[in-house]
A and B are shown apart, each in its own frame.
Chain A
Amino acid sequence: MNGFASTARLVVVGGMTSYRALFNWTTPSMYIGTLFASPLFQLLFFVYVGRGLGVAGDEFLIVGNAVLSCSVAGIFGGTMAIANERRYGTLGTVLLSPRSRAAIFLGRGLPYVLNGALVSVTMLGAAALLLGWRTPVDRLPALVLTTLVGAIACTAFGLTLGSVGLRLRDIWLVTNITSALMLLLTGVIVPSGELPALLRGIGSVLPLTHSVAAARHITDGDGFGAAGPDLLIEVGIAVAYTLIAVVLLRVFETEARRRAVLDAM
């Protein structure tokens, strides 16, 4: 097998296997409950609060919640995909692999990207079914693409947290808090314009802030061109977190060999 095919196999086959190995929620009830049921209730909650208090229209909250709903798979999944090595004591045997760290660890993100995008699209479908939300069919491809980009960015962010988790025992605290903060900072529920400059600044480097802005352009009928810049920034954020994750993994591995700092080995 040539180098490219062999690496592709590691990314895809390895990534899928590690999904079952390291993701905590692979039993059907945990999977559906955590990834689908709870974001659905959250979506309904916000839409009815929006209707009851008259603070925002249905579409604003539906699109925001649907984009946000990929974050559990992306951020928690991404963290688990790396940091759970600590739980199983497998890091040493993984690091003894002669293969590319980027291929090993980034491939693990792939299932979570697909998983996250699936959750987002499901939420949109549920909104159409349960809340009577409608949008012209020709806007759907762009909308799906946007949720996919958002899911990639979330997963890249999750992988960054997971890498930190190799060193930091209490990474779940960080993951929990960040995940909650995204509700406030990314403009999915609260319009970014309402936030103080500092919070808006933090929000602008988190995943989803720009993909939700892009999604709003699309559902508002501004056309794909109007969504383009935000989508590109979101891609940039995904690339940035991916690079950070790769650099952290390399630094930690080198440090681990030099100073024996990874107790998971």
Chain B
Amino acid sequence: MYAIEADNLHRTYRTSSGWIRRTRRTITAVDGVSFQVPPGELFGLLGPNGAGKTTTIKILNTLLLPTGGTARIHGLDVTRHTAEVRRRIGYVFGGDRGLYDRLSALDNLRYFAELYEVDPRVQRRRIEELLELVGLTGRQKERVEGYSRGMKQRLHIARGLLHDPDVIFLDEPTLGVDPVAARDLRAMIAELVRSGRTVLLTTHYMFEAEELCDRIGVITSGRMRALGTPGELKRHAQDRVVVEAEVYGVDEEQLDALRAERGVRGVTVDQRGMLQVIVVQCDIDGDAEPERFRSFVRQSLAHLKLGRVEVREPTLEDAYVGIVTGQEAAAPETTAVLS
């Protein structure tokens, strides 16, 4: 039996705005998402902002009903067996909110221990263990309002684990956390999986997904665009090379000129101080192609101050960018789903 099963999930939101002439809109946030996560797996849901990751998690954790499709946690339907599902899941989201700022960490945990029905006889021990696990021992009596972003996030994780759930949803847990604290959080997440729990993690950091996840689903505009192990996803880009060029002062028009070239699949720019690193993803069909693309890029940018121009093998990040940018243009029917 799977720990998490999503079967053709759909979710639309209706919004209305304006007072006198109310305009109503229907937003499709999740548009037919299916996947299965076996027990003990760390599954990553990856996608740009607004892709539908949080909505998917909220359907799975019972906060939202699907407008179509079904979902199960350990075989329990999230719509029909809501209470049982809630006892088996933990939910942790990123950001500054979601804790009682004026209470100490200890009192926050005590309160949620009541809400999540942790047996009072084991509460104290459980809370101590969790404080230890998330590295807040010694700070537990301080009010949460004085906590750093990273400490709050660790407390969030402790809260999510109070009732010892075996399925844990982590929605962008490293959002806005400094790099060192984020690394600690990733170690903590890896530890959760090692202890046998099933974790569904959303993030938009590719390296984070690559480091942690057994399998990754890439979602854009509410649809699963690709699904597989990091290695399998990389193969999405196997008939591709990447030309990376360092340049100063490139503008949108010149980028569009690059994009218009036959075989160029996507162009992205990474600003590093004054320097811009242009990443050109190219489809190749022949051995001479990588060099052709490199001289093409070099020539197109020749009138600018140009640094290093190199051809390299695509990384997982490139595969991800290719999937996301490619799918925005492509018709959904052409989506290739690996599994």
Contact = CB atoms under 8 A, between A and B. Distances in A.
Interface of A: 1, 6, 9-10, 13-14, 17-18, 20-22, 26, 88-90, 92-99, 104, 256-260, 265
Contacts of B120: 1, 9
Contacts of B108: 21
B331 interface: no
Contact of A88 (B58, B101, B107): B101
B256 interface: no
A17 B97 contact: no
Pairs of residues from A and B, 6 with the lowest C-beta to C-beta distance, nearest first: A89-B97, A21-B100, A97-B115, A98-B86, A14-B114, A98-B83
Given A14-B115, A88-B101, A258-B65, 16 more contacts: A1-B119, A9-B114, A10-B114, A14-B114, A18-B111, A21-B100, A21-B108, A88-B99, A90-B98, A90-B100, A92-B98, A94-B115, A96-B89, A98-B84, A98-B86, A260-B13
Contacts of A259: 14
Interface of B: 13-14, 58, 61-65, 83-84, 86-87, 89, 91, 93, 95, 97-103, 107-108, 110-112, 114-117, 119-121, 159
Contacts of B116: 97-98
Nearest to A262: B63
23 contacts: A1-B121, A10-B114, A18-B111, A21-B107, A21-B108, A26-B102, A88-B97, A88-B99, A88-B101, A89-B98, A90-B100, A92-B63, A93-B98, A93-B159, A95-B63, A96-B86, A97-B115, A97-B116, A98-B83, A98-B87, A98-B116, A257-B65, A265-B58
A234 to B, nearest CB: 31
Contacts of A1: 119-121
Given A90-B98, A259-B14, A96 B62 contact: yes
A6 B84 CA distance: 18
Contact of A17 (B95, B98, B101, B107): B107
Contacts of A257: 62-65
Nearest to A13: B114
A28 to B, nearest CB: 14
B114 A20 contact: no
Contacts of A9: 114, 120
Contacts of B63: 92, 95-96, 256-257, 265
A21 B115 contact: no
Contact of B102 (A14, A20, A94, A95): A20
B236 to A, nearest CB: 33
B98 A20 contact: no
A17 B64 contact: no
A116 to B, nearest CB: 21
Contacts of A90: 97-100
A144 to B, nearest CB: 30
B111 A14 contact: yes
Contacts of A97: 86, 115-117
Given A257-B64, A259-B14, A99 B100 contact: no
Nearest to B89: A96
Nearest to B156: A93
A13 B118 CA distance: 13
A20 B103 contact: yes
A69 B58 CA distance: 43
Q: Give the interface centre of A10, A89, A93, A256 by most chain B CB atoms within 10 Å.
A: A93
Nearest to B119: A1
A92 B115 CA distance: 12
Contacts of A89: 95, 97-98
Nearest to B111: A17
Contacts of B115: 10, 14, 94, 97, 99, 104
A99 B91 CA distance: 16
Contacts of A95: 63
Contact of A98 (B107, B110, B117): B117
Nearest to B102: A21
Nearest to B88: A98
Contacts of A10: 114-115
Contacts of B98: 88-90, 92-93
Contacts of B100: 21-22, 88, 90
B114 A96 contact: no
Contacts of B83: 98
Contacts of A88: 97-101
A128 B280 CA distance: 85
A92 B91 CA distance: 10
Contacts of A260: 13, 64
Contacts of B58: 265
Q: Give the interface centre of B83, B89, B98, B159 by most chain A CB atoms within 10 Å.
A: B98
B244 to A, nearest CB: 41
A21 B145 CA distance: 12
Nearest to B160: A93
A257 to B, nearest CB: 5
Contacts of B121: 1
Nearest to A15: B114
A17 B114 contact: yes
Contacts of A26: 102
